[in-house]
Amino acid sequence: MLIATWNINGVKARLDALTAWLEAASPDIACLQEIKSQDETFPRAAIEALGYHVETHGQKGFNGVALLSKEKPASVMRGLPGNDTDEHARYIEGVWEVGGRRLRVASIYLPNGNPLGTEKFPYKLAWMERLIAHAATLLEAEDDLVLAGDYNVIPMPVDAANPEAWLGDALFQPESRGALRRLVNLGLTDALRATTDQPKTYTFWDYQAGAWQKNAGIRIDHLLVSPEVQDRLVSVGIDKHVRGWEKPSDHVPVLIQLAA
């Protein structure tokens, strides 16, 4: 089974790239972030034509997450528990019955948190606390669990081409990195770092200052997996070439292959 995550940075603007990638990579489940589309205007027909079922949690103009899957999920939950007043569309979770096993996959678009010194950074940290609490509950069920998405957190200095450039950014603050560590320490595994310690492994390159051409990237798109999934983890890949396509997202897909 192949499970992927990709911050598409506007599904309508990247629809051709998305459908081309789906045809080439053929993931069983694809988690999208930053679709920037309401549910009713999501371009589902082009994706359904490729054989995918579409579940969205959209929002006009920004945010928005989606789950694309070859099999229809048994259930879907929209929104991260813990704050009924939070209207940001940043979390969608699906459950599939696969080979007698229960697989739960979430698509996550964690708040950016910038600029520091505004209400956006405390919101980011509070959102992370809600995610930690929800993940702890999910892990108690001992289902196959994949928490995939754009976490907007650079875990370690090795995950940035130029760590010093990010010292004043919410993505690299001690509080952000500490919250991500506490999430992982619940019993999750960073799938990519479980399979490689290779440096210069990035998932995002800014549109500015020739970041892509210089490979001045960062790694902020992660798939965190439960022990049950780690036991089945075969490989992890980054479709870096997609960043070189016409009108690309600033993120690229990250994929995990699981044994049957």
Question: Which two tokens mark 199?
Answer: 């440096």
Residue numbers in the known binding site are 7, 34, 150, 152, 250-251
Question: Does 123 qualify as catalytic in the annotation?
Answer: no
Distance CA 122, CA 178 (A): 14
- List Cβ neighbours of 88 (8 Å cut-off, separation of 6 or more): 59, 63, 111
Residue 49's Cβ-side half-sphere holds a number of Cα atoms within 13 Å equal to: 8
Q: Which of 57, 134, 222, 251 is flagged as catalytic?
A: 251
Exactly one of 144, 150, 159, 190 is catalytic; name it: 150
- Could you tell me which residues are annotated as the binding site for Mg(2+)? 7, 34, 150, 152, 250-251
Cα–Cα distance between 53 and 167 in angstroms, integer? 41
Active-site residue identified among 109, 134, 159, 190? 109
Catalytic residue status for 207: no
| Residue 150 annotated in active site | yes
The tokens of 141 are what? 């069920």
Q: Are 32 and 248 in contact (CB under 8 A)?
A: no
What are the beta bridge partners of residue 30? 4, 68
Q: Are strands 101-109 and 144-150 parallel, antiparallel or unpaired?
A: parallel
Q: Catalytic site residues?
A: 109, 150, 251
